[in-house]
Amino acid sequence: MSLKVLNPNAEVLNKSHALHMNINAAKGLQDVLKSNLGPKGTIKMLVGGAGDIKLTKDGNTLLKEMQIQSPTAIMIARTAVAQDETSGDGTTSTVIFIGELMKQSERYIDEGMHPRVLVDGFEIAKRATLQFLEKFKTPVVMGAEPDKEILKMVARTALRTKLYEALADQLTDIVVNAVLCIRKPEEHIDLFMVEIMHMRHKFDVDTRLVEGLVLDHGSRHPDMKRRAENCYILTCNVSLEYEKSEVNAGFFYSNAEQREAMVAAERRSVDERVQKIIDLKNKVCPDDNSNFVVINQKGIDPPSLDILARAGIIALRRAKRRNMERLVLACGGEAVNSVDDLTPDCLGWAGVVYEHVLGEEKYTFVENVKNPNSCTILIKGPNDHTIAQIKDAVRDGLRAVKNTIEDEAVVLGAGAFEVAARQYLVNEVKKTVKGRAQLGVEAFADALLVVPKILAENSGLDTQDVIIDLTGEHEKGNVVGLNLQTGEPIDPQMEGIFDNYIVKRQLINSGPVIASQLLLVDEVIRAGRNMRKPT
Partner 1 sequence: MVGFSMQPYGIQSMLKEGHRHLSGLDEAVIKNIDACKQLAIITRTSLGPNGMNKMVINHLDKLFVTNDAATIVNELEVQHPAAKLLVLAGKAQQEEIGDGANLTVSFAGELLQNAEELIRMGLHPSEIIVGYTKAINKIIEVLEEMVEKGSENMNARDKDEVITRMRSSVASKQFGQEEKLCSLIAEACIQVCPKNPANFNVDNVRVAKLLGGGLNNSLVVRGLVLKSDAVGTIKRMENAKVAVFVGGVDTTATETKGTVLIHSANQLENYAKTEEARVEELIKAVADSGAKVVVSGAAVGEMALHFCERYKLMVLKISSKFELRRFCRTTGAVALLKLSQPNPDDLGYVDSVSVEEIGGARVTIVKNEQGGNSVSTVVLRGSTDSILDDLERAIDDGVNSYKAMCRDSRTVPGAAATEIELAKRLKEFSLKETGLDQYAIAKFAESFEMIPKTLAENAGLNAIEIISSLYAEHASGNTKVGIDLEEGACKDVSTMNIWDLYITKFFALKYAADAACTVLRVDQIIMAKPAGGPRPPAQGAMDED
Q: Which residues are catalytic?
A: 58, 91-92, 396
**Subset of 285-314 contacting partner 1 (CB under 8 A):** 302-303, 306
> Would residue 528 be called left, alpha or beta, if left means φ above 0 and alpha means ψ between -120 and 50 degrees?
left
To partner 1, the closest distance from the beta carbon of 173 in angstroms equals 21
Q: Cα–Cα distance between 501 and 136 in angstroms, integer?
A: 10
Q: Is residue 527 a contact residue for partner 1 (CB under 8 A)?
A: no
Binding of residue 147 to partner 1 (CB under 8 A) = no
Q: Which is nearer to partner 1, 80 or 178 (CB)?
A: 80
Nearer to partner 1, 468 or 527 (CB): 527
CA distances (Å), origin 470, targets 131, 483, 492: 22, 10, 12
**How far apart are the C-alpha atoms of 354 and 226, rounded to whole Å?**
6
Q: Does 344 bind partner 1 (CB under 8 A)?
A: no
Q: Does 522 bind partner 1 (CB under 8 A)?
A: no
In the complex, minimum distance from the CB of residue 476 to partner 1, in angstroms, rounded to a whole number? 32
Candidate list 263, 468, 520, 527; residue touching partner 1; CB under 8 A: 263
Check residue 110 for interaction with partner 1 (CB under 8 A).
no
Question: Is 201 among the residues that bind partner 1 (CB under 8 A)?
Answer: yes
- Binders in 36-65 for partner 1, by CB under 8 A: 40, 42-51, 53, 55, 65
Q: Which residues pair with 300 in a beta bridge?
A: 240
34 contributes a contact to partner 1 by CB under 8 A: no
Which of 17, 184, 208, 322 is the binder for partner 1 (CB under 8 A)?
Answer: 17
- Rounded CA-CA distance 13/526 in Å is 9
Residue 299 and residue 240 in contact, taking contact as beta carbons nearer than 8 Å: yes
Footprint of partner 1 on 211-240 (CB under 8 A): 222-223
DSSP structure class, residue 396:
H
Of 161, 156, 153, nearest to 61 (Cα)? 161
Q: Is 245 in the site for partner 1 (CB under 8 A)?
A: yes
Least Å from the CB of residue 452 to partner 1: 19
Site for partner 1 in 357-416 (CB under 8 A): 359, 382-386
- Candidate ranges 250-258, 390-398, 420-428, 473-481; the one touching partner 1 (CB under 8 A): 250-258
Could you tell me which stretch among 127-135, 147-155, 200-208, 494-502 binds partner 1 (CB under 8 A)? 200-208
Q: Residue 5: which region, alpha, beta or left (left: phi > 0; alpha: psi -120 to 50)?
A: alpha
Residue 364's DSSP bridge partners are 215, 355
Residues 63 to 82 in contact with partner 1, rule: CB under 8 A: 65-70, 73
Listed residue (447, 440, 489) closest to 468, CA to CA: 489
Please name the amino acid found at residue 420. Answer: A
Is residue 27 involved in binding partner 1 (CB under 8 A)?
yes
Query: Rounded to the nearest whole angstrom, what is the least distance from the CB of residue 41 to partner 1 in the complex?
Result: 9
* Shortest Å distance, C-beta 106 to partner 1: 13
Cα 249 to Cα 251: distance, rounded to the nearest angstrom: 7
Sign of CA dihedral 189, 190, 191, 196: negative
Q: How far apart are CA 30 and CA 34, in angstroms?
A: 6
Q: Is residue 426 part of the contact set for partner 1 (CB under 8 A)?
A: no
Query: Among residue numbers 432 through 491, which ones bind partner 1 (CB under 8 A)?
Result: 460
Choice between 286 and 359, CB closer to partner 1: 359
Q: How far is the CB of 28 from partner 1 (least distance, A)?
A: 5
**Closest approach of Cβ 334 to partner 1, in Å?**
32
| Identity of the residue, 252 or 477, whose beta carbon is nearer to partner 1 in the bound complex | 252
Q: Which stretch binds partner 1 (CB under 8 A): 143-151, 262-270, 411-419, 482-490?
A: 262-270
Q: CA geometry: angle at 33 spanning 138 and 103, to 5°? A: 85
**Which span sits near partner 1 by CB under 8 A: 279-287, 340-348, 433-441, 526-534?**
526-534
Upper half-sphere CA count for residue 333 (Cβ side, 13 Å): 29
Instruction: Determine, following the binding rule CB under 8 A, whether residue 257 of this chain makes contact with partner 1.
Output: yes
Nearer to partner 1, 101 or 329 (CB): 101
Sign of CA dihedral 399, 186, 351, 292: positive
**Mapping DSSP to helix (H, G, I), strand (E, B) and coil, where does residue 349 land?**
strand
Residue 310: CB minimum distance to partner 1, A? 9
Which of positions 266-285 make contact with partner 1 (CB under 8 A)?
266
According to DSSP, the residues that pair with 199 across neighbouring strands are: 380
Q: Is 532 in the site for partner 1 (CB under 8 A)?
A: yes
Distance between CA atoms of 239 and 174, rounded to whole angstroms?
37
d(CA 424, CA 239): 65
Q: Contact between 202 and partner 1 (CB under 8 A)?
A: yes
**Residue 78's CB: how many other CB atoms inside 10 A?**
13
Under the criterion CB under 8 A, does residue 354 sit at the interface with partner 1?
Answer: no
Q: Between β-strands 194-200 and 375-381, what pairing exists: parallel, antiparallel or unpaired?
A: parallel
